[in-house]
Structure 1
Amino acid sequence: MKVYTLNVFLCLTFILLSSSLNGCAGRGSRISGLNVNDFFEGQEKQLAIAAASGNVLKVDELASQGVDVNTSGKEGMSPLIWAVAFSNIDGATSLLKHGANPNHHADNDSSPITLAATTGTPELIERLIDYGGSPDNSKGIRSALFLALYHERYDNAEMLLSKGADINLISKDGSNAIINFDTILHYDKVFYLLEKGAEYNFIFGLHDNYLPYSIKKAENIINKGSEQYTWYLKIREFLRAHGEDI
């Protein structure tokens, strides 16, 4: 029997739109060829399926019978993460009302918030945060805000920022969203963050004024015929307007 890992599961769901998730086969039991059986058994499996398919009455019934809404399946999968993967706000809300933890992290650091930031909706993100979820919610090197922007879910990024996401959040490797996007030459995201008030003159590595140094250095490597070069020029003008000599 083929075994699917949570890492594969999240890689697949991250590239799907929430609209396609809601319409996939299996009514909460399958997603992109993966099966709920890969992560849950017994009543916990029934709970995950009910939440992912929006069967609120079934979620209520199982929770009232004592099924743990915070059960941790294989590789740290939770019923709430499973429901969020399907972008099912009704099912997720029902779990949250019964005490599901919106800050639970799977074994690979994925959480309801980080998954919702990528494939969910602003409404789903808001619901998770209203029930105690952290708008940052990452113990690793990629915040929910970074993931939303990387997948160009600006609507989700706006919701996260409106709910208090730390635009300057430092990850455990010492980096932040500006550094991560600058490193992969995603200057459109860097400019977005700058316009939203992100700091740029911080210390990273051997440099105490990171972004001006990096932008100046990138002039010799960026493809001047690319779309990102337009954003690079916007960043350069932004920094010059703020007194940086580049």
Structure 2
Amino acid sequence: MKKILVHGIKEKTPMGFCDVPRKNLLDFLRDMKSISVPNEPRYKPLKKIHRAASEGDAQRLQRMISLGKHSVNDKDFKERTALHFACAYGQVEIVNVLLKNNCDIDAVDRNSITPLMKAVQNWTYGCVCALLKHGADPNRMDKNGNTSLHYAVSEDNQTLAKCLLKYNADMEIKNKDGFTPLLLALKENKIEMAKFLVRKGANIHVFDEMKRNTLLYAVRWDSKDMVSLLLDEGVDFFFKDVFGWTALRYAIEGTSKGSREILMNYDEKLRRKNKDDSLEYKNSEDNLLPKHHNDPTSVSTLPKSNENECDFDDELDTSKYALAKCPNNFRGAGDQRDKNESSGTVDDSSKEQLMSKPAIEKVDSVAYEESGSNQEESTLAESDIFTTESLEEKVSDDSENIQPSV
């Protein structure tokens, strides 16, 4: 990428986006003046009705309208009406007189500027409220696609912006340069206004024609509060502009030292989280793998139960008991098969558990054989169909007889 001079220095970021020089005292005083003093009206009235509106002479204006010599919608060579002049000069009484005489409340001049835009531009609060109460459209756009809210943002006036939002001003309308009010606030370094719009629910994921989003503009002005707020609100940390640069790269390559630290810490936190999540996912996969019967950890790992298996009580030590089948309420061949499977499980488990204790093996095996013979005799004496109670007693007796001594 070819290097060019920006502000007398060689650029470090594309088009010098983050090579912003620090403001000196003169710049600071100029900004304070623009905030405290609204713009002076540039409208110079030439027609009599426009002069009466600018000077606030309500009686004269009403007389002109009543005599029919002048219309409330008369325009000058720049297509401005009396309502434009009244709003530009802050004449609230004139605005009310014109509205009572059915003037065009959304009349546009040669630049498609409405009286509401002119009232916002000149900080005439009374005119703004009067126009909005009478149905002025806050979402009309001038020739550059700016709405009244764009004007309020450019003037850095939160009071007017709040009033416009109360009357359904759209925060997501883009002007011809692709800037929503929020993006415009960040572009012009109106950080407090940007915070206000974010709190009001403005979309933080918007970007301009160069694909520079809100986070990139916050990094450009090295606004640590705004960067933190956008990250907390879930802005895309990895978003890239048309040059393929992320906010972190702009912060590293540019002059935004405060934002650099915040973004680097955030990047480290994301890397750590992704690493922990991947390890947790891997461990969870390992736990789901089938254990070998010789694995010591497999004793406490029980296979998934089907609809015929018991749910063990949490207080029981499942490592001491062989897995047994629940008796079914329905009688038939399925019950006998479940019984045989359960007996097989008991035998295998008892053999493995008693191999290491020969002294106990003999006693337990004898008890097991006696119990088995007694049960066979009682089974032959009874009916071929097992009841639920007899099967529960058999499983209980078997499990008691094969328990290892502790």
TM-based fold match above 0.5: yes
> SS of the counterpart of 1:17?
helix
Q: Which residue of 1 aligns with 2:221?
A: 186
Q: Which residue of 1 aligns with 2:248?
A: 215
CA 1:222–1:169 in structure 2 vs 1: closer, same or farther (change >3 Å)?
A: closer
- Kindly indicate whether the alpha-carbon contact (under 8 Å) linking 1:71 and 1:78 is maintained by their aligned counterparts in 2: yes
CA 1:75–1:206 in structure 2 vs 1: closer, same or farther (change >3 Å)?
A: closer
> SS of the counterpart of 1:242?
helix
For residues 73-88 of structure 1, the aligned pairs below 5 Å read 73-88=109-124
Residue 168 of structure 1, aligned match among 205, 220, 231: 205
Give aligned-pair identity as a percent: 21
Q: Which residue of 2 aligns with 1:90?
A: 126
Cα deviation for residue 170 of structure 1 reads: 4.2
Q: Which has the higher contact order (CA 8 A, sep 6+)?
A: 1
Cα deviation for residue 124 of structure 1 reads: 0.8
Cα deviation for residue 145 of structure 1 reads: 1.1
- Kindly indicate whether the alpha-carbon contact (under 8 Å) linking 2:105 and 2:115 is maintained by their aligned counterparts in 1: yes
> Are 1:242 and 2:270 counterparts?
yes
- 1:238 partner amino acid: Y
Q: Which residue of 1 aligns with 2:339?
A: none
- Kindly indicate whether the alpha-carbon contact (under 8 Å) linking 1:187 and 1:231 is maintained by their aligned counterparts in 2: yes
- Kindly indicate whether the alpha-carbon contact (under 8 Å) linking 2:156 and 2:190 is maintained by their aligned counterparts in 1: no
Task: Say how many residue pairs are matched.
Answer: 210
Give the distance between the partners of 1:145 and 1:82, measured in 2 at CA.
Answer: 20
Q: Which residue of 1 aligns with 2:144?
A: 108
TM-score by length of 1: 0.71
Cα deviation for residue 62 of structure 1 reads: 0.8
CA 1:129–1:234 in structure 2 vs 1: closer, same or farther (change >3 Å)?
A: same
Give the distance between the partners of 1:105 and 1:172, measured in 2 at CA.
Answer: 19
CA 1:36–1:112 in structure 2 vs 1: closer, same or farther (change >3 Å)?
A: farther
> SS of the counterpart of 1:156?
helix
Q: Which runs of 5+ in 2 are unaligned?
A: 1-30, 47-73, 275-406
Q: How much is the aligned-residue C-alpha RMSD, in angstroms?
A: 3.1
> SS of the counterpart of 1:157?
helix
Cα deviation for residue 83 of structure 1 reads: 0.7
- Kindly indicate whether the alpha-carbon contact (under 8 Å) linking 1:118 and 1:147 is maintained by their aligned counterparts in 2: yes
For residues 9-88 of structure 1, the aligned pairs below 5 Å read 17-21=34-38, 24=40, 30=41, 34-35=42-43, 41=75, 44-88=80-124
- Kindly indicate whether the alpha-carbon contact (under 8 Å) linking 2:185 and 2:191 is maintained by their aligned counterparts in 1: yes
CA 1:120–1:180 in structure 2 vs 1: closer, same or farther (change >3 Å)?
A: closer
CA 1:36–1:69 in structure 2 vs 1: closer, same or farther (change >3 Å)?
A: farther
- Kindly indicate whether the alpha-carbon contact (under 8 Å) linking 2:185 and 2:193 is maintained by their aligned counterparts in 1: yes
> Are 1:153 and 2:190 counterparts?
yes
> SS of the counterpart of 2:266?
helix
CA 1:178–1:217 in structure 2 vs 1: closer, same or farther (change >3 Å)?
A: closer
- Kindly indicate whether the alpha-carbon contact (under 8 Å) linking 1:56 and 1:90 is maintained by their aligned counterparts in 2: yes
- 1:35 partner amino acid: Y
Q: Which residue of 1 aligns with 2:337?
A: none
Q: Deviations for 1:43-92, whole angstroms, at most 9, x for unmatched residues?
A: 95321232234332211211222211111111111111111111222111
Larger CA Rg, structure 1 vs 2: 2
Cα deviation for residue 174 of structure 1 reads: 4.5
